[in-house]
Structure formats: structure tokens, C-alpha cells
Amino acid sequence: MIFLPKVTLIALTGLNYKTVEHAEAIRKSCEGIEWGDVKFIQQANITDVNSWNKAVIYDLWKYVDTEYAMFIHHDGYVINPELWDDKWLNYDYIGAPWPLSVDEFSYYTSEGDLVRVGNSVSLRSKKIMELPTKLNLPWKSYFGNTNEDGFLCVHNRKVLQNNGCVFAPLEVAVHFSKEIEIPENVGLPTFAFHSL
């Protein structure tokens, strides 16, 4: 059994949205791991994917009393608990790697830096969860998208780094989770996954 007293396992959804599937993801994520806390939150104000993304940014931290949260979904959760690495707690955000961009804006910061690690199924520090509210970061669309992982890992990356947040590098993230196969993660087992 792996003991993670500093980490809350959490899922956040709208009312009655894939409740059975989320409960099963939580059950599977608890196999072999004793979390500091386990929470399944359903909010009435989450009515579509945009309101869900916004709630993740501004509300998720309110439900977490530990230093970190493992944020999961009905289609993304822990699958290999034995691969847990305590070094991941050195980062404020670690998710699955993203592919190379196929355009001039996806995964690029406003400074032109390509970001290869994000994904919403992730390990997050309480600090990075709280900062958008504390800093009053505006909720807005970027290139027509309002994805919460892009909001944190790409579009507000510099301001979060300037406030002490550390993002996991690609060579670490390939062991944490997989969303899609990329050259860097072929054949690698991962702690978690997120399906497309």
C-alpha cells in the first residue's frame, strides 16, 4: 500500500454527470493507494464543458485541504499505483505530455515557447490551484478555447512561474500519465492515463 497523506484524490463534475463512471474511476484510483482525502464534487453551476473548465480554475482549490490534489475524471485516473514517484511532489503541476503543435498557436505561450506538458488529469499543488483566484486572473478564451489545462500550463504559465510555480518537464511527465502516444512515451507504462 502506498500512503499519500499530502494528496487529495478529487473529481469535479456537474450534477449527475457520469456519476457511476466517476465513482468507478475513484475506486480504481484507490487500489493500492491510501490518499490524504478522497472527494467527488458535483456542482449545480457546471452545466457544460466551459463552465466545468471555469469551475476547475476557480473552485477546485476550495475542496482541497491537503498540499496537493490528484485530479481525475471518469475517463482518466490511476492505473499503475506502483509507479508512484515521490519526486513528483517537487512540482506544482504534472500531467500527460502533449504532442508537438501542428499549428502556430496550440501549446504556445504568448512569448512563443512551446509547452509539451499539460493535460487535466494531473497532480497539482494547492498553491497553483489557488493562484488564479488570488491573482484575479481573468477567465477568457484563447484562440477560441477555454481549456483549464491550457489556462494554467500555457496561457498563464509565466505569471504562475513568477509566483513560484514549477511545471514538470517532459522527461518526468512521460512516466506520470499518457493521453496519446508520442515518440517520447512509446512503450512506457504510466501511473495514470487520460483517454481522448
Model confidence over 19-29: pLDDT tens digits?
999 999 999 99
45 secondary structure, DSSP code: T
The confidence score (pLDDT) of residue 51 equals: 95
Is the pLDDT at 85 greater than 70, yes or no? yes
Q: If you average pLDDT over every residue of the chain, what do you get?
A: 95
Domain boundary assignment for the chain: 2-193
Secondary structure class of 18 (helix, strand, coil): coil
pLDDT, mean of residues 112-140? 96
User: So what's the pLDDT on residue 196?
Assistant: 63
Tell whether domain 2-193 is in CATH 3.90.550. Answer: yes
pLDDT in tens, 52-82: 999 999 999 999 999 999 999 999 999 999 9
